[in-house]
Each structure stands twice: as C-alpha cells, then as structure tokens.
A = this chain, B = another copy of it.
Amino acid sequence: MDIGTLVGLGMCWAIFVASILIGGASPLIYINIPSVVMVLGSSFFALFVANPLSRILGIFKIFMQTVRLPAYEMEKTIRIMVEFSERARREGLLALEDNLQELDDEFMRRGIQLVVDGTDPEIIKSILYNEVNQIEARHSSNIKVFDTWGTLFPAFGMLGTLVGLIAMLANLQDQSTLGAGMALALITTLYGSMGANMFCIPVAAKLNDRTKTEMLFKEVVIEGVLSIQSGDNPRILLEKLIAFLPPAQRDGVRQEGKD
C-alpha cells in the first residue's frame, strides 16, 4: 500500500475540513447536493465525450494504481540480471531456460525467452522497446483522463457559479436573500476547485511518477537482456545497470554481486 497517497489524501481533506469547522461557520452551508451533482456529474459526462468508453469505465482501476505500491525491485532485478549473465557465459544462452520460471516479472521473462529462442538482437530490441512505448502511450492516455478532469472541474464550477449569479441578479428585489444566493453560487466554484486541486491534479502527478519509474525499470531490463545476449562481461553489465540507480543504492548491489 502506498501510504503517501492515503495519508496525503486523508490529511489534505482533514485539514481542509478542520479549518472550516474552526472558522465557526456551520459546515452545513458548504453542502449543497444539486451543486455536487452538477459539478461532478456534468464534468464526468464531458469526460465520456473526450474518452473511449472502456477507459472511463476503468477509471476506478486507474485510480487504484496510485494506492498500490508498484512491485519493481530494481536492486534485486539487477542482481538477477548479473546472475543470468554469469550463467549464460558459463553454460550458454540455452541454459537460461531452466531459470525462466524463477522470474516474477512477465516483461523480463518475455525478454529472456526471446534470447533463449535465438531471436535476432535487432528484433528483440524492436519488440521490447515497442512494447515499452505502447505501455507508456496507454499510461499517458490514462493519466490524461485525470488531467482533463482537473481542467473540467474548475470550468464546471465556474459554469455553476454563472448560473447561480444570473438567477440571483435577475431577481434582485429580495435583498435579504442576496448573500445566501451568492454563497450558493460560489459553492460550485469551491467544489470545482476542490475536485481539481484536492484530487485530480495530485492523482495525475502520482500516476505520471509511477509511469516514469516503470519505464526506468523496463529500460534496465532491456539493457540487461541485450547485454546478456551479446555476451557482455558480467562486471560490465553490473556497471551498466547500476548507472540507473541513485548512488546511495549502488554499494548494496555491488556488495551482493561479490558474494
């Protein structure tokens, strides 16, 4: 579980609500169901226009990616790569087939399988990089759902405020309800801004960050697979792959590599 996402969302909303309560005004004045329906509903269906149906229906699954921690273990993966490289030099590329089941990561397994099958290095490179590019394209389409929502939310908030203002201004005779009418009109802007800044924008940023981490992991795997196939020295392979890590994590990998 990604504690950052959960604690972040929880605390962000908690502090916000607490500051309203401390302000002394009745919290009820901030709740208006028709306004929620309008801002949330209209902007959500505008997303339907902007996206293919399947992507919208999977929106909850996309969000859940920010709550689950990704399973990429860069350091372990680099060690496995070095081991495979050593074995391939000792016993030949075909010997790697025995260890394929050990691999948790589907992408790495597929890469090594292509090597074991004796596929041409250029073709392996093109297949794996193409796959990575397609994953990135699909991820960025998913992220764009939240990006678009993050811009539609305040837009529909403002639309609601305009509707409220016009109604209020067209009916100015009753000055006693002026303040309440305007407060109601502003509530949709508040909802729109909350939806964007307290949900969509940070979620899209986290999804973006996750995609970058995944792409980095997959690049390490491709570099490793191609290096194993070309019979690189395992020491060189290690140097190549730890260049992807931040310096602080390198010594651990180097150490275990020597054991």
Query: What is A's interface to B at a CB cutoff of 8 Å?
Result: 2-5, 7-12, 15-16, 19-20, 22-25, 29-30, 34-35, 37-38, 41-42, 45-53, 56, 66, 106, 114, 119, 123, 126-128, 130-131, 134, 137-138, 141, 144, 148, 151-152, 155-156, 158-160, 162-172, 178-180, 182-183, 186-187, 189-190, 193-194, 196-198, 201-203, 205-206, 209, 212, 216, 232, 236, 239-240, 243-247
Contact = CB atoms under 8 A, between A and B. Distances in A.
Nearest to A202: B49
Nearest to A11: B45
Copy number in this complex?
5
A244 B7 CA distance: 37
A4 to B, nearest CB: 4
Nearest to A179: B172
A26 B66 CA distance: 44
Contact of A47 (B202, B232, B245): B202
A38 B51 contact: no
Contacts of A180: 169-170, 172
Contacts of A201: 46, 50, 151-152, 155
Contacts of A9: 45, 49
B19 A126 contact: no
Given A34-B22, A246-B138, A46 B198 contact: yes
B4 A48 contact: yes
B209 A52 contact: yes
A127 B246 contact: no
A16 B159 contact: yes
Contacts of A50: 8, 201-203, 205-206, 209
Nearest to A36: B19
A159 B20 CA distance: 11
Nearest to A199: B49
Candidate in A11, A35, A141 with the most chain B CB atoms within 10 angstroms: A11
Contacts of A159: 16, 190, 193-194, 197-198
B41 A4 contact: no
Contacts of A8: 45-50
Contact of A165 (B130, B148, B171, B186): B186
